Structure 1
Amino acid sequence: LLTMNLDTIGLMSCNPAIGGLGKGQLVKEVDALGGEMAKAIDKTAIQFRRLNTKKGPAVQSSRAQADRESYRLYMKYVLENQSGLDIKQALVNNLLLKDISSSSESNLAQRRVWGVETSIGERFLGECVIITPGTFLEGIIHIGLKHFSGGRMGGFSSIQLAHNLRDLGFRLDRFKTGTCPRLDGKSINFSSLTSQKGDSHPIPFSFSTEGIEQSSVPCYITYTNVITHQ
């Protein structure tokens, strides 16, 4: 496993929440297939809420707010202790391909991947390559009217790999996320906000979790106004 920063494995870039309408079912499916996401949120959530409880069970779903730091550390620990998995810190720049056809015309359909090359020239070889770029391929961060290159705040953008994939004939699309601002809790007057408590008997995401041990932390609701938009 190659990652740009060993210390940010599992870092939640956007709203630190798992589940919700539609996505909650996906988390359950990942868990059924042996994935770690459901177990991680069950261990690190600060609040669980069952959504649409006034409606029928077909449209109900679970959502949990996570402690970003605890979730990151949990995922990092799991990966570092996974048998048979080697983790390296590296920026991948290029896919390594080889021809599998004797034809003089070499196109992508007649070539096969056999590894990757990093920004410092290291080569890691393998019979297949799985790319999980998230928001990092030619990522751009927008703050107000300002914008700059970055996969997320404080993280590099993977520019060369995007160019390499495009040169190989792959189509790259743009995906947009809207990240909520990070606020200093000491600067907030919580008495003027609406408190939203979690469920008293939270339902775990993972089928293997017997119960939630950590205590719940209330969330607080705010509303936008004309001054905010200005």
Structure 2
Amino acid sequence: MILKMTDTDTAATLISADCPFAKLPDHLLIEIFLRVPISDWGQISCVKKQWAKLFQEECLWDAALIRSFPLAGQAKRWPGPIPRGLSKRRYAALYVSKQIFSLHDEIDEIVGHTYLFLREQLEVSPMPLPSGILHGTIIADQFIACGKSQDKAYELASLIWLAVIDNLEETEQTFSVLKRLALDGEVFLPFPYSRSYNVQWRVFERLFTDFRDCFNHVDYYDLLSLAKNKFQMIPSAWLGY
């Protein structure tokens, strides 16, 4: 059975008390929803209050976690300062690790949680951002607590920074965050981050391509001058206003 919420008539039919589908018990609804593409879950949860409540409860996310990530139940003790959370959070972290990082090892869930944590901090935290986030200490500590070496911890932290920067939406908050990161320079990824240069490059790249129209002339030329001093050679795509 394929469930699609693409028009108001379909939704109205499912809400109707006369529709047999509307009378199904929760455990059967969960089994049906789990067979629907995850991209449709947002629409499904808006059809009925009963369905919205299901998507807020742990029973659905417990089932989704077991179905999509059967090895998740074998996870070891959770280390580090970033919390694991309940089943919905764990599902999101594992989904991220699979879709964005293509990971399938013992640290995949931890990478997913770290990605979600960093992205949320950048998207919702007031400026200035907490120093523990900018310096990456919380992120590195997460992997060191898992038994990774410092070099590996910094490599993973930089990989996550790159993914988060790539996936931030084009909003005013993102523009402000990227400007702050560009101006802070060495502050947000200090030594011994092994790939901080790549992360800094990506920050400027997004600013000068996706957000060029958001600059005033003064800020644009100030950051362009900073980029030239930092990287020496810069792409032609970054030039011009």
Name the TM-score, length of structure 1 as normaliser.
0.20
Q: Please, what TM-score do these two structures have when normalized by structure 2?
A: 0.19
Q: Tell me which protein shows more helix as a share of its residues.
A: 2
Q: Which has the higher contact order (CA 8 A, sep 6+)?
A: 1
